[in-house]
Amino acid sequence: MLDRDASAFEALPPIPVAERLGALAEVVLCSGFPTQIVILAAMTGFGMRLDTAGGWSPLFVATLSLLDTALVIGLVLFFLRAHRESARDVLLGRGPVWREVVAGVALLPVVFVIAMVVLAVLILIAPHLHNVPKNPMEDLMRNPRDAAIFGIVVMIAGGLREEVQRGFILHRFSQYLGGGAVGVVVHSTIFGLGHFEQGWDATIAVGTLGAIWGTIYLMRRSVIAPLVSHAGFNLAQLVKFMALR
């Protein structure tokens, strides 16, 4: 009996380097950067142009974002299946979906307050970080039709893709790459830097929100609540911009 009890305290076998490298490769492939480069090259090869006379092409950005969403989610599902893992368990969790939806809606005002507080503090203590006077995303919404297209994009690419992506990456960090907390720090930093064209203050604010959504995933083991919160936040930002325009 003593021997059996003692065995419960034995150290787990170390994770082979090959498995860690494989997990890292999956994380990189699902990070969005390789897939966007491939899709961008394909689209420009077919003659589509990112820049038009009036700035960024809304059609190009929307097509790129939606194709990348499909490719990233496809890769996530492929890698989960290759590891014989349940996509439902990893991404949706084992609890009722409606409960996660309610949690996501309840999280929305919290996210808004945190974003406003972070931006206000940055303006107060480091105003130089507000280095982009106009968000370049505004050029994508020149008329109501563009705004409607962009609204779909921010909910699908910004909400669905990024939260499925985040959940999968944090899942892999939890298994092979140093733990979920390390994953939150690494991914949130990169997530924030991915928005640097909107200004360094926005970069920090977005990174903070990414850390919150990532922490929620680790706590609940479901992407639903972060997804609802993220998509709702993006859509509300779009509506606010159009109302004030």
pLDDT score of 17 more than 50 = yes
Q: For 47-95, how does the pLDDT look when each residue is reduced to its tens digit (9 = 90+)?
A: 887 766 556 677 788 889 999 999 999 999 999 999 999 999 999 998 8
pLDDT value at position 47? 83
pLDDT one-digit tens code per residue, 18-39:
999 999 999 999 998 999 999 9
Looking at residue 163, its pLDDT comes to 96
Mean pLDDT score, 220-234: 94
Q: Which pLDDT score, from 0 to 100, does residue 5 have? A: 43
More confident residue, 22 or 238: 22
pTM of the model: 0.88
Q: Give the number of domains in the chain.
A: 1
Higher pLDDT, 196 or 107: 107
Whether pLDDT at 16 is above 60 = yes
3-state secondary structure 122-183: HHHHCHHHCCCCCCHHHHHCCCHHHHHHHHHHHHHHHHHHHHHHHHHHHHHHHHHCCCHHHH
Query: 100 pLDDT exceeds 50?
Result: yes
CB 123 within 8 A of CB 199: no
90: Cα within 13 Å, side-chain hemisphere = 24
Contact partners, residue 241, CB within 8 Å, separation at least 6: 138, 141
Which tens digits make up the pLDDT trace of 104-159? Answer: 999 999 999 999 999 999 999 999 988 877 666 666 666 777 777 888 888 888 88
| 34 in Cβ contact with 45 (< 8 Å) | no
Res 9: pLDDT: 42
Task: Supply the mean pLDDT for the chain.
Answer: 87
Residue 230's domain spans which residues? 2-244
In this predicted structure, what is the pLDDT of residue 138? Answer: 66
Tell me the C-alpha distance between 233 and 108, whole Å: 7
Query: For residue 184, is pLDDT > 90?
Result: yes
Supply the pLDDT for residue 15: 85
Mean pLDDT of 210-223: 96
**What's the pLDDT band for 2 if we cut at 50, 70, 90?**
very low
The confidence band for 7, taking pLDDT boundaries of 50, 70 and 90, is very low
